[in-house]
Structure 1
Amino acid sequence: MEQSRFDQLAAQGHNRIPLTREILADMDTPLSAYRKVAEGAWSYLFESVQGGEKWGRYSIIGLPAKTILRVRGQQITIETDGVEVESIHSDDPLSWIEAYRQQFDVAQCEGFPRFTGGLVGCFGYDTVRLIEEKLTEIPEADPLNNPDIILMVSEEVLVFDNLSGKLHIVIHMNPADEGALAQGQQRLDEITAQLNRPVTPLASTPNRAISESDFVSGFTQDKFESAVERIKEYIVEGDVMQVVISQRLSIPFQAPPLNLYRALRTLNPSPYMFYLNLED
């Protein structure tokens, strides 16, 4: 992008301007590209298989994000570069997140992939309590202490075109930063250089057989049966039509998490596969 075009977009009021570079990546795979430039905390990989027989055209790789949003109940924290910079109380965290998203005015440029970044992460099951007033009763504390919502502000993305073998590098620059365009071009050079290096092999871990008895549930048999009886009462009273009881099953796992994702995508390639590295 020329400086004049960059300045023109900035003058239109956009506070994020995307810069892109297209490179040939037919010798890479989305996984190898992820490992070269994105493997680490606050990164992600989105893939998809269509019809159970062929890969979706695009795979999305999110490079490590600098800014992280966490929501626990009505408390929101913002972390930048590993440091908490703001803590906010909100009666409506979902509306707050939407307002936060809208503060980014991203210039729309022709020829760019359909997805070039944004808020990426996960909403826990208990997020429904922010929507359904009947469910506002405080649940039991999560023994894992996971946030209800955790989102990465994804501003550096690779879009892997599995059909053409091309890869689009997309980064977003704030025109208010001094020398933003030059810094962006330098960053594109850095990412390109990372993609041109060989990928290091993943550490191997020995395989071992496991059985159902190896898994630990946080739901005892008595509590499960009690929950079933309570659900029957809700159905009779007309409060619900259907309920699916879930339980958390855990087992010690020492291998790199990416190895688990690789195994799952091999055993069960499916639509909307995702790998999120949320630090812990």
Structure 2
Amino acid sequence: MKTVSLEEIPYSPDSCQMFERLRDLPGSAILDSSYPYAQTGRYDILVADPTAGTPIPPVEGETAHWENYFDELGRFHQSRFEASQGVSPDLPFCGGLLGYLGYDLGNPLNRVSGSSGKYSGAGLYAYDWAVVQDHLLQRAVLATQPAVSRTQQSDLLRRLRSRRSTVPGGFRLQENFEANMSDVQYREAFNRIQAYISAGDCYQVNLAQRFEAGYEGDPWQAYRMLRQLAAAPFSGYLSLDNDDALMCLSPERFLSLHGSHVQTSPIKGTRPRYQDPAADQLAAAELRRSEKDRAENLMIVDLLRNDLGRSCVPGSIYVDKLFEVQSFPTVHHLVSTISGELAPERSAYQLLRDSFPGGSITGAPKRRAMEIIAELEPHPREAYCGSLMYISADGRMDSNIAIRSLLCSESKIRCWGGGGIVADSQWQQEYQETFDKVGKFLTALEGLS
């Protein structure tokens, strides 16, 4: 039986330098642990030149169409990558499906009437080869599926071992970012959510606003700057059609699957970082003690336990960590971790379908919160709050919650910031939190104009 080929290539501490040797190829993408800026980062995955035949996502947003799409992905995966079991425990991806799912496809999956405007579905593609950088072992390999010819493999190795790279072009904004809600409009939406909570419709709703500006140049230059600023372990850059790009600087894992072990790590609770060490420690301690943030976090933990219960073995779901403060360069976050064992009859695609989108960016209960989001937010979320992800040929999966995302499309760059609203929320604090999460990104990009 044919097996996956592994070829050692020179390791680079900065995977972006290696990616620049592949970036001119169609469909290039990097899932990026932000090493060395995020010292906990381990794996980076680089791909390009996807194979033909990947199932095409629906154009219409009907529930049955999207459910069938995930079934088609599972069948395609099984038929194309049947020879990839047990490749290496230290290799998270050896070819497979990689890309993104947009938040808006969660509306039909959860039988929610979506908001009006531009619809963004999915961009998952099959790749027969991948470069994986392991920063712990300081090792880099080119993994190729049996479908990759020796000639193609040799061409890739020459490219990866050479010093050639695509030099980033300039990037600049043509104007400062403009929000799609004024403070008055945000307060009106906030008050509507408070009324729904008072009426018993929901317990928590994540409300986001969008920031947009015109730009010109190469988004890759913007990404390289922002990854240093964010140092986020679930970052990524996807090259899209028409020279568009999706940049993500996410600190949050959505779902991982390794063997039958499922894990999710929701974030709920945020404080800004401060340069003064005493003020910074005070902010982290305040977040750790905050009854409001702990209550918000616990609501989402309960929601995700329920979501995992659709796909995991009964009795296998545990809360491994509760209310852990994790600190990133721009913010402190309150993070919990839940795990379970995937039921033998369930696949990664069914787990993903029946848990999407992540509860930390909807609210609780999920379906009602999503209905309120669709009612109150002026524009679709597109890729924001969806997921960048991979499902390896051997079945291993990891995915993020695509917060801190920037979509470059049709000469416009869009970025979103949001937060969970509960009964005792104050609108000014929630409004400010949307800026705390992405304000440093926006300011940095405006500095390039």
The TM-score with structure 2 as length reference comes to 0.47
Q: Which residue of 2 aligns with 1:234?
A: 196
Aligned partners of 1:201 and 1:101: how far apart in 2? 32
Give how far 1:194 is off.
Answer: 0.7
Residues 131, 143 of structure 2: 8 Å contact kept: yes
| Counterpart secondary structure, 1:252 | strand
- Contact 1:157–1:171 at 8 Å: present in 2 too? yes
Shift of 1:140: 0.4
Aligned residues between the structures: 238
- Asked whether the equivalents of residues 57 and 66 of structure 2 are also in contact (C-alpha less than 8 Å), the reply is no
Matched, 1:43 2:51: no
Aligned-pair distance for 1:237?
2.4
Unaligned runs of 5+ in 2: 245-449
Partner in structure 2 of residue 125 of structure 1? 103
**1:70 pairs with 44, 57, 77, which one?**
57
Q: Would you identify which runs of 4 or more consecutive aligned residues in structure 1 move more than 6 Å?
A: none
Residue of structure 2 in register with 1:156 after alignment = 129
Structure 1 241/95 Cα, relative in aligned 2: closer, same or farther at 3 Å? Answer: farther
Distance 1:251 1:241 in 2: 34
Identity among equivalent positions (%) equals 20
From the CA coordinates, give the structure whose radius of gyration is larger.
1
CA distance in structure 1 between the partners assigned to 2:138 and 2:36 by the alignment? 21
Tell me the alpha carbon deviations over residues 91-130 of structure 1, each in whole angstroms, 9 at most, x when there is no partner. Answer: 6433333333333323325447232122211111222223
Pairing of 1:131-280 with structure 2 (within 5 A): 131-133=109-111, 135=112, 137-142=113-118, 145=119, 147-174=120-147, 184-200=149-165, 202-203=167-168, 205=170, 214-219=176-181, 223-279=185-241, 280=244
| Residue of structure 2 in register with 1:103 after alignment | 79
- How many angstroms apart in 2 are the aligned matches of 1:66 and 1:115? 16
> Separation in 2 of the partners of 1:120 and 1:110?
18
Counterpart CA distance in 1 for 2:99 and 2:46 is 13
Asked if structure 1 preserves the Cα contact closer than 8 Å seen for 2:29 and 2:237, the reply is yes
Deviates more, 1:213-222 or 1:62-71: 213-222
Once the two structures are superposed, residues 233-263 of structure 1 have per-residue CA deviations (whole angstroms, 9 ceiling, x without a partner) of 3212222111121122111222311111111
How much does 1:206 deviate? 7.4
Q: Is the 8 A contact 1:73 1:148 kept in 2?
A: no
State the TM-score, normalizing by the size of structure 1.
Answer: 0.71
Task: Trace 1:19-98 onto structure 2 (pairs within 5 A).
Answer: 19-23=5-9, 25-26=10-11, 29-49=14-34, 54=39, 56-67=41-52, 69-74=56-61, 92-98=68-74
CA deviation map 1:122-174 (0-9, x unaligned): 111222223323x2x142022xx5x3122111221001132444321112234
| Equivalent position amino acid for 2:18 in 1 | A
Once the two structures are TM-superposed, the CA of residue 41 in structure 1 deviates from its matched residue by 3.8
Q: Is the 8 A contact 1:90 1:96 kept in 2?
A: no
What's the counterpart of residue 78 of structure 1?
Answer: none
* RMSD (Å), alpha carbons: 3.2
